[in-house]
Structure 1
Amino acid sequence: MKFRIEWTYGVPKGIDAVFSSEEMPAEAIIQIAEDLERTGRVKKIRFEDQYDSNWTLKEVKAYLKEIETEPHQVQIYFDGGYERSSGDAGLGCVIYYKQNGKSYRRRANAKLGELSSNNEAEYAALYFCLQELEYLEVRRQLVSFIGDSRIVINGMEGEWPIIEDKLGSWVQRIKDKLNELGIQDEYQLAPRKENAEADKLATQALKGISIAATSEILD
């Protein structure tokens, strides 16, 4: 979850000014708040999450402690491959996250039939990633979704209209699942070479190679 911070700053002559920040992860916002408090000139600090709810510094710290045992700082790479001759799609998903002070990577893929285009396969891959998040029991988290499909990224951000009915159906399924899991989604368009791992998983799925594995990332 991301927060904004608003603080009232006072100088010795009695002049006060109110400042606010952009949205930042909870860890960063706590560091800034504690540093501001050390100046001794901050009269009031207020935290606001992306849902416009107010928090105290104590509550933000408690939230971080609460999610420490849950998957958090989640980043997902997704990709979909499509075979026009068979109508089959390969779905690839790579999830990076932290839990209990350790870093993990989950790699998973799946094969899906009766699709009509590569664009539909890309949306199906995104939905598959949400199913993987559900498996990991990710709840109430900000999740970054990274892919190389401009249609999916811009479509989910609302920058491009969804004209095809089949794609619109996938968008609705994705939004419903996001709401069910309480996930705030953000999207990033990546060059294809940066999405190579998810692409490989999608290709393997089309070849009948099934993968579902979680491993710890060692420094």
Structure 2
Amino acid sequence: MQVRIHYALVVKKRRLSFRSDILEAQSALSFLEVLESNKKIEDLMIEDDTGDHYTPKLFRKRLAKVAEEISQLSLYFDANWQDAKQTAGLGVVIYYYKSEKSYRIRKNLMTNLPSSNNEAEYFALFHGLEQLKALDLNPQTIDIYGDSLVVINQLKGEWPVLDEGLNKWADDIEHLLADLKITPTYHAIKREKNKEADRLATTALTGVDVFSTINREAKPK
């Protein structure tokens, strides 16, 4: 969560109003402690990135609640298309934080639903977003990473979607994101930066299903 601090400095009955730069919520707490100790500071308020305002007390309660919510969502997707068999392997990796712990979901799928490599890439992203339905999400942003320039640039609106089949996938993804109340930011990455999703897609084609969720910070027993 990013915030701004609003306050007034009162000196000899004269007031100056201030608004801080954008701060990360935890950094804002340190400034609040200093400002609250200054008797010349009045009307201390915190504005979050949605435009809501909080008193320092309510802001601390809000942060305590936020710590229990899922945040910092990111999703990596990839597909491995076999033209001869008209079969695709899909791979998805999702990362998020909850209660100050980092989690990872790994999921793959073998399917003959797509009719091309580009459709398989779209399906991989759609399949990944479907996994988010099982999570208790509040409205938030998500970073989406893929090495398919077609999918990434078309969903960013930089390339036109002329193929009817791909256009349907793009619409389905937009509708699913709207239902989840998630705002995407798309990132095109090189294949070597997408190895985990690629391995899952390749593994799917061997008939091995993978579906796991782990706490990445948990120590092995």
TM-score, normalised to structure 2, is: 0.79
1:163–1:48 CA distance, 2 compared to 1 (3 A)? farther
1:14-33 mapped onto 2 (5 Å cutoff) = 16=16, 19=19, 21=21, 28-32=24-28
The offset of 1:140, in angstroms, is: 2.2
Q: Which amino acid aligns with 1:191?
A: K
Alignment partners' CA distance in 2, 1:135 and 1:156 = 24
Q: Which amino acid aligns with 1:205?
A: A
SS of residue in 1 equivalent to 2:199: helix
- Structure 1: gaps spanning 5 or more residues: none
Range moving further from structure 2, 97-106 or 165-174 = 97-106
1:59–1:145 CA distance, 2 compared to 1 (3 A)? farther
Alignment partners' CA distance in 2, 1:185 and 1:62 = 28
Counterpart residue number, 1:95: 94
Report the RMSD for the aligned CA atoms in angstroms.
2.9
The offset of 1:72, in angstroms, is: 2.3
Over residues 86-125 of structure 1, what are the superposed CA-to-partner deviations in whole Å (9 max), with x where a residue is unaligned?
2222111111222233222111111221312222111111
Counterpart residue number, 2:47: 47
Counterpart residue number, 1:204: 203
Range moving further from structure 2, 142-151 or 196-205 = 142-151
1:18–1:129 CA distance, 2 compared to 1 (3 A)? same
1:154–1:101 CA distance, 2 compared to 1 (3 A)? same
Q: How many pairs are equivalent? A: 212
User: Residue 7 of structure 1 contacts residue 42 of structure 1 at CA under 8 Å; is this kept in 2?
Assistant: no
Alignment partners' CA distance in 2, 1:20 and 1:117 = 51
The offset of 1:148, in angstroms, is: 1.5
SS of residue in 1 equivalent to 2:72: strand
SS of residue in 1 equivalent to 2:208: coil
Q: Which amino acid aligns with 1:179?
A: A
The offset of 1:6, in angstroms, is: 6.0
Counterpart residue number, 2:193: 194
Alignment partners' CA distance in 1, 2:21 and 2:165 = 40
Q: Which amino acid aligns with 1:124?
A: F
User: Residue 46 of structure 2 contacts residue 59 of structure 2 at CA under 8 Å; is this kept in 1?
Assistant: no
- Structure 1 vs Structure 2: percent identity of aligned residues? 33
Structure number with bigger Rg:
2
Counterpart residue number, 2:128: 129
Over residues 16-55 of structure 1, what are the superposed CA-to-partner deviations in whole Å (9 max), with x where a residue is unaligned?
5755645x7xxx2341364266255876545243xx5323
1:191–1:61 CA distance, 2 compared to 1 (3 A)? farther
Counterpart residue number, 1:166: 165
- Structure 2: gaps spanning 5 or more residues: none
Alignment partners' CA distance in 2, 1:208 and 1:196 = 19
Q: Which amino acid aligns with 1:53?
A: G
Counterpart residue number, 1:38: 34
The offset of 1:216, in angstroms, is: 1.9
TM-score, normalised to structure 1, is: 0.80
The offset of 1:63, in angstroms, is: 3.8
The offset of 1:175, in angstroms, is: 1.5
Counterpart residue number, 2:104: 105
Range moving further from structure 2, 83-92 or 54-63 = 54-63
The offset of 1:60, in angstroms, is: 4.8
